Amino acid sequence: MSKILLEQQGRITRITINGPEKRNSISRASAADLHDALDRAANDESRVVVLTGAGDYFCSGADVTTTHTEDVARYVRRVVNPIILTIRGMKKPVIARVHGPAMGLGCNIALACDLIIASTEAQFGQIFVRVALMPEGGGTFLLPRIMGHARAFEWLTTGNAIDAKAALDLGLINSVLPFKKLEAGVEETAERMASAPPLVIAGIKQALAYSQSHTLAECLEFEASNQKACLESEDFTEGRAAFLAKRKPEFKGA
């Protein structure tokens, strides 16, 4: 039975890491299933993806309790890396709903998402060094860009865990809510994203990714090219008409 649940409800697809008996750790089988679920969500009719964990954990990281025969580097390239690349490359926004610990690979899966909404009980940890492992899942790429080299180096080499407030102060996450308000907060954000014009949201996500490895002049050209596509879309026609009529627009993704 798969430890990854996939459910589409209207414009929102929800993916749940469903292994609370093992703190939602990621085994080799569940990693493959998670990538498959993300790939399916990327291509379904939804406009937003919510990624979360069952119970009181988001994800405790990779399952290191089992013995593996496949070469580790090959496994990371074949299964782990595509999870991160699929989240980052998906045209629709991915929201991480984090309640409880997000550790190791689980932390980096959350950080790969476009938005992170956490409960006050959430914790984030780069614990690879505790078991003599290198970070995987993009932590060495993402963290220096979020918190700077010095803080990223310290966090990755000490293996410390931080609470949700500290993560918010460091700019790692978007918001912190009491657990009883977490679901409503995630739903509100997801609905707001789902109501936005998909072409624009995809363009913004792609432009931010593009900016990581291109010059300002190249990014300006990227914006100009994508702005042309937006201006020619039916959603722009609807947005302009709604603005002039002082009504709420109904974007259809065309």
Angle (CA) 194-188-56 rounded to 5° is 115
Average pLDDT for the chain: 93
pLDDT above 90 for 184: yes
Length of the chain: 254
pLDDT at 67 over 60: no
The neighbouring-strand residues paired with 94 are: 49
Spell out the domains of the chain, with CATH numbers in brackets: 4-194 (3.90.226.10), 197-245 (1.10.12)
* Cα–Cα distance, 201 to 198 (Å, whole number): 5
Read off the pLDDT of residues 6-36 as tens digits, 9 standing for 90 and up.
999 999 999 999 999 999 999 888 999 999 9
Q: Classify residue 61 as exposed, middle or buried by CB count within 10 Å of its CB (0-12, 13-18, 19+).
A: buried
At 254 the pLDDT is 62
Residue-wise pLDDT tens digits, 128-150: 999 898 999 999 999 999 999 99
Q: Cα separations (Å) of 240 from 130, 193, 204? A: 54, 19, 19
Largest CA distance in the chain: 64
pTM score, two decimals?
A: 0.94
Q: Say what percent of the chain tops pLDDT 70.
A: 97
